[in-house]
A and B are shown apart, each in its own frame.
Chain A
Amino acid sequence: MTGTMLLEIEGLRKAYPGVVANDNVGFAIAPGEVHALLGENGAGKSTLVKMIYGLVKPDAGTMRLMGAAYEPAEPRAARAAGVAMVFQHFSLFEALNVAENVALGMENPPPMRDLARRIREISNTYGLPLDPDRTVGDLSAGERQRVEIIRCLLQDPKLLIMDEPTSVLTPQEVEILFHTLRKLSAEGTAILYISHKLEEIRALCDSATILRGGKVVGHCTPREKTARELAEMMVGGEFAMTDRAGRSFGNPVLVVKDLNLPPMSQFGPSLKGINLTLRAGEVLGIGGVAGNGQEELLATLSGERPSEDETVVIKGQEASRLGPNERRAMGLLSAPEERLGHAAVPAMSLTENTLLTGTIRRPLMKKGFIDMGAAKGFAEEIIKAFDVRTPGPHVAARALSGGNLQKYVIGREVLQAPDVLIVNQPTWGVDAAAAASIRQALLDLASKGAGVIVISQDLDELMEIADNFCALYEGRLSPPRPTEGLTIDEIGLMLGGAHGMTDVVAEEAAS
């Protein structure tokens, strides 16, 4: 390492009761460097950046910013020192416009007209067009992220921290973002980029620090490694690939015809003219950026929201107005995206949570009376078959980690032997090993003759397990395309492209 480093970290440690989140973590970032922080969920990435951003105070260790001691007591101090952060979850008010949202995050906001002008300037300079007068509720996830980025850029930061920035973007939007980040880097702003998407890191980052179990397990230059090598450094061993062989399609098990549904919330999308056919043995992938109707689609298919007559047909039988339990009896099961509070009751035990969906297809009750012994047995069966790490079935659902609870939720549905299974974001926030086992379970289910719909934002996941691919964009579902031979660019265009941004990219590319 040569010259003065922008940020130097040494021996950083942070322990929470029962877990050491970071232990003796050290690395350095040069001005203008794009530095990746790579690791699985729970590897300690979030804790580390929270310490840099002043949200969490380290137990031990030192940080130096531009040679001077750096101990931010709170995010305001970090911002004053030139450190800005774009969070994975946006903190924006949907009912306010872009400029108002930006002003809310500032210490001394200038008059609205000046601010709007500054926003336009910055957005043009960095290729992130954004109209300051638009209401945030009407913006796409990618556009909302631009609001957050511009909010940071107004502070003229020396170091910009980005936490999983691409999880909500279409491939084209990712390109635009990378374009902006490279420009910032060329101007001398360092970027600390957190992700577990290996190809992105290889494309964007100059150097990488890999975390595992709260410790630094290696530094590398991502371009010199293959994605597989990076993954193995991250996971600490080889990991299994899924096996999708040996399936043939049977009769249609779920047919959706001209399904329309009004929005469920004020800024939520409506579903418009959805058509799809799912055959036995088929895995249908539905891709799209969250907020384009995924939740709404799951709610209508699962039976939580009834739809008009003759819009949902399960195994040849009309089911549009049937509730979730009647559909379960017909063989259609589902697993919603939100694990706590929707797919499981946080304060209830794993045993009790089997009763949420399991009483129709499993003998967990007799004439309405609960058989607690049978429920406990089913919970134990799920824990065993899906390798759920927990002291036992008596533990409350909220005490499980996200990945373990997801394995439980998927396991609960898969073990009920559905004919149709619909899952939304089955591996969101789940570590690589658990994600692979969940995907394999879905494939195994399909090879036994069930039809499976996987709704996901993770395109790599859909490419890996789906036979056919549809894009959900602004409540409309595209016709299915076989995943074999489908390129990432084609998918990106199916997902709504870059929200009117393609011209800019083309211009930049031309110049």
Chain B
Amino acid sequence: MITLIKRPTPSRFWAYTTPLVAVIATMIAGGLLFATLGKNPVEAIKVIFWDPLFGANAAYFRSQLLVKAGPLILIAAGLAVGFKAGIWNIGAEGQYIMGAVCGAAVALAAYPAESAMLFPAMVIAGAIGGFLWGLIPALLKVFFGTSEILVSLMLVYVAQNLLAYVAFGPLKNPEGFGFPGSRNLQQYPSAHNPELIAGTGAHWGVAAALIAVIGAYILMHRHIAGFRIRVAGEAPRAARFAGVVPARLIVTCLGLSGALAGLAGLFEVSGPSGQITDSFNAGYGFTAIIVAFLGRLHPLGILLAGLLMALTYIGGDMAQLMLGLPAAAIQVFQGMLLFFLLGFDLLTNYRIRIGGARA
């Protein structure tokens, strides 16, 4: 018989080791999956994890790594702050869309004027867009006790419809020959979010992600406000005893994660994507939830998890192309990663005893 015994103090060793063990277990289970699909498992794992970094054409894929990891890290850093407090913002995808729409709207309203102030104004508009969209579930929770999980999630679909509306309506390119979508901001110098260092894929969003990681680390591990956020998640009554006002905490956490998601959307629309279309959002807001947990809600962990997640996306695409693996197999593979992480997570707080267990 297998029994779980709660550890009196969480194990530091396992807290750091579980992500690694989870990655290895994913490789093994994923390899088995690919083998049953008739592919060479070693080859498939190599295509996913090795080739994007060191294989042929790696230079291109390496730049894609930062392009994909940037928004994931930026959003996840904000989400993790709320998750630590026990406030579950599931609607980062919606806040991401609203940030992009608001930021792009500022740029398109100014078009074709050139000004050094335009891009900063877009950044602020993007952050505000995401912030306000995150504020909706926060205020509903504070005043009416609604679940922020459901409200923030449902607002994603509202945001998607708004996105489709502006892409076909107010923000549509008047010179676009009837095609849906806005003007391409990549061709509008003042509004463009360019690659900062050629060949790396690093644009302002990647810089913002790094700043967010450092900022989140200082907030959560060096500042009393972060300490109180963590207390609120661990023991809500103790948090009130420590002077935390729950309403203020809810607004702060949802507002902050919304603003960061909005920023990610803005950097995406003004950079790699370039234009507002009805299919602009690519699921970064949802994947960032996985990234946040994969990174153990720790800013530095999120940095690594974002890079790893981006790698499996790029590698997964390559595996589809080169080995003809079905897209569903890749998604299962990514799902396994989260599954194993949460599974092995148990070892941090429990130890396993096999046999000899007595009641």
Asked if A370 contacts B241 (CB within 8 A), the reply is no
Asked if A370 contacts B235 (CB within 8 A), the reply is no
Asked if A396 contacts B242 (CB within 8 A), the reply is no
Assembled-state Cα–Cα distance A303/B241 (Å): 8
Assembled-state Cα–Cα distance A56/B358 (Å): 9
A59 at the interface (CB under 8 A from B): yes
Q: Mark A256-282, 1 if CB is under 8 A from B, else 0.
A: 000000000000000000000000000
Q: Mark B227-249, 1 if CB is under 8 A from A, else 0.
A: 10011001101101111010000
A395 at the interface (CB under 8 A from B): yes
Q: Mark A279-317, 1 if CB is under 8 A from B, else 0.
A: 000000000000000000000001110000000000000
**Given A369-B223, A399-B9, A304:B238 Cβ within 8 A:** no
**Given A342-B235, A347-B234, A348-B231, A368:B8 Cβ within 8 A:** no
How many residues on the A side are at the interface (Cβ–Cβ under 8 A)? 34
Chain B residue numbers with a CB within 8 Å of A244 are: none
Q: How far is the CB of A52 from chain B (nearest CB, A)?
A: 15
A149 at the interface (CB under 8 A from B): no
Asked if A59 contacts B358 (CB within 8 A), the reply is yes
The residue from A59, A346, A356, A368 contacting B241, defined by CB atoms under 8 A apart: A356
Asked if B10 contacts A345 (CB within 8 A), the reply is no
Q: Mark B133-175, 1 if CB is under 8 A from A, else 0.
A: 0000000000000000000000000000000000000000000
Q: How far is the CB of A410 from chain B (nearest CB, A)?
A: 14
**Given A56-B359, A59-B358, A365-B224, A344:B238 Cβ within 8 A:** yes
Q: How far is the CB of B282 from chain A (nearest CB, A)?
A: 36
Assembled-state Cα–Cα distance A336/B224 (Å): 22
Q: How far is the CB of A7 from chain B (nearest CB, A)?
A: 21
Asked if B241 contacts A355 (CB within 8 A), the reply is no
Chain A residue numbers with a CB within 8 Å of B235 are: 340-342, 345-346
Asked if B241 contacts A304 (CB within 8 A), the reply is yes
B225 at the interface (CB under 8 A from A): yes
**Given A346-B235, A369-B222, A396:B227 Cβ within 8 A:** no
A324 at the interface (CB under 8 A from B): yes
Chain B residue numbers with a CB within 8 Å of A197 are: none
Chain B residue numbers with a CB within 8 Å of A347 are: 10, 234
Chain B residue numbers with a CB within 8 Å of A302 are: 241
Asked if A355 contacts B234 (CB within 8 A), the reply is no
**Given A325-B243, A342-B235, A357-B241, A352:B227 Cβ within 8 A:** yes
Q: How far is the CB of A279 from chain B (nearest CB, A)?
A: 26
When C-beta atoms are compared, the residue in chain B nearest to A16 turns out to be B358
Assembled-state Cα–Cα distance A256/B8 (Å): 41
Asked if B225 contacts A356 (CB within 8 A), the reply is no
When C-beta atoms are compared, the residue in chain B nearest to A395 turns out to be B9
Asked if B8 contacts A356 (CB within 8 A), the reply is no
Q: Mark A346-383, 1 if CB is under 8 A from B, else 0.
A: 11100010011101000001001110000000000000
A343 at the interface (CB under 8 A from B): yes
Asked if A324 contacts B234 (CB within 8 A), the reply is no
Assembled-state Cα–Cα distance A341/B240 (Å): 11
**Given A57-B359, A396-B8, A398-B8, A342:B241 Cβ within 8 A:** yes
**Given A336-B241, A346-B234, A370:B227 Cβ within 8 A:** yes
Assembled-state Cα–Cα distance A57/B357 (Å): 12
Interface centre among B10, B242, B358 (most CB of A within 10 A): B242
A26 at the interface (CB under 8 A from B): no
Chain B, 233-274, CB within 8 A of any chain A CB: 234-235, 237-238, 240-243, 245
The residue from A323, A343, A346, A370 contacting B224, defined by CB atoms under 8 A apart: A370
A338 at the interface (CB under 8 A from B): yes
Asked if A345 contacts B225 (CB within 8 A), the reply is no
Chain A residue numbers with a CB within 8 Å of B243 are: 303, 323-325
Asked if A342 contacts B237 (CB within 8 A), the reply is yes
Chain B residue numbers with a CB within 8 Å of A340 are: 235
Asked if B358 contacts A57 (CB within 8 A), the reply is yes
Chain A residue numbers with a CB within 8 Å of B8 are: 395-396, 398-399
Assembled-state Cα–Cα distance A352/B224 (Å): 11
Q: How far is the CB of B232 from chain A (nearest CB, A)?
A: 10
Chain B residue numbers with a CB within 8 Å of A355 are: 224, 227, 242
Chain B residue numbers with a CB within 8 Å of A57 are: 358-359
Chain A, 425-445, CB within 8 A of any chain B CB: none
Chain B, 73-92, CB within 8 A of any chain A CB: none
Chain A residue numbers with a CB within 8 Å of B230 are: 348
Chain B residue numbers with a CB within 8 Å of A356 are: 231, 238, 241-242
Asked if B231 contacts A370 (CB within 8 A), the reply is no
Chain A residue numbers with a CB within 8 Å of B227 are: 352, 355, 370
Assembled-state Cα–Cα distance A323/B241 (Å): 9
Chain B residue numbers with a CB within 8 Å of A336 are: 237, 241
Assembled-state Cα–Cα distance A347/B348 (Å): 12
When C-beta atoms are compared, the residue in chain A nearest to B9 turns out to be A396
**Given A356-B242, A396-B9, A345:B231 Cβ within 8 A:** yes
Q: Mark B207-237, 1 if CB is under 8 A from A, else 0.
A: 0000000000000001111010011001101
Chain A residue numbers with a CB within 8 Å of B225 are: 368
Asked if B238 contacts A370 (CB within 8 A), the reply is no
Chain B residue numbers with a CB within 8 Å of A352 are: 227
The residue from A303, A341, A342, A368 contacting B223, defined by CB atoms under 8 A apart: A368
When C-beta atoms are compared, the residue in chain B nearest to A74 turns out to be B359
Assembled-state Cα–Cα distance A396/B348 (Å): 14
Chain B, 1-44, CB within 8 A of any chain A CB: 5, 8-10
Assembled-state Cα–Cα distance A399/B235 (Å): 16
Q: How far is the CB of B280 from chain A (nearest CB, A)?
A: 38
Q: How far is the CB of B347 from chain A (nearest CB, A)?
A: 15
Q: How far is the CB of A219 from chain B (nearest CB, A)?
A: 29
Chain A residue numbers with a CB within 8 Å of B9 are: 395-396, 399
**Given A348-B231, A399-B9, A370:B223 Cβ within 8 A:** yes
Q: How far is the CB of B315 from chain A (nearest CB, A)?
A: 36
Q: Mark B265-305, 1 if CB is under 8 A from A, else 0.
A: 00000000000000000000000000000000000000000
Assembled-state Cα–Cα distance A76/B177 (Å): 80
Assembled-state Cα–Cα distance A303/B245 (Å): 11
When C-beta atoms are compared, the residue in chain B nearest to A56 turns out to be B359
Chain A, 475-503, CB within 8 A of any chain B CB: none
Chain B residue numbers with a CB within 8 Å of A325 are: 242-243
Asked if B10 contacts A343 (CB within 8 A), the reply is no
Asked if A345 contacts B238 (CB within 8 A), the reply is yes
Give 15 CB contacts A-B under 8 Å. A56-B359, A304-B240, A341-B235, A341-B237, A343-B238, A345-B235, A345-B238, A347-B10, A348-B231, A355-B242, A357-B241, A368-B225, A370-B223, A396-B9, A398-B8
Additional 16 contacts, C-beta under 8 A, given A341-B238, A343-B238: A59-B358, A303-B243, A304-B240, A324-B241, A324-B242, A340-B235, A341-B235, A342-B241, A345-B231, A345-B234, A348-B230, A348-B231, A357-B241, A359-B224, A370-B224, A395-B8
Binding site for A on B (CB under 8 A): 5, 8-10, 222-225, 227, 230-231, 234-235, 237-238, 240-243, 245, 358-359
Nearest 9 pairs of A and B residues by beta carbon: A399-B8, A325-B243, A396-B9, A342-B237, A341-B235, A324-B243, A345-B235, A356-B242, A345-B234
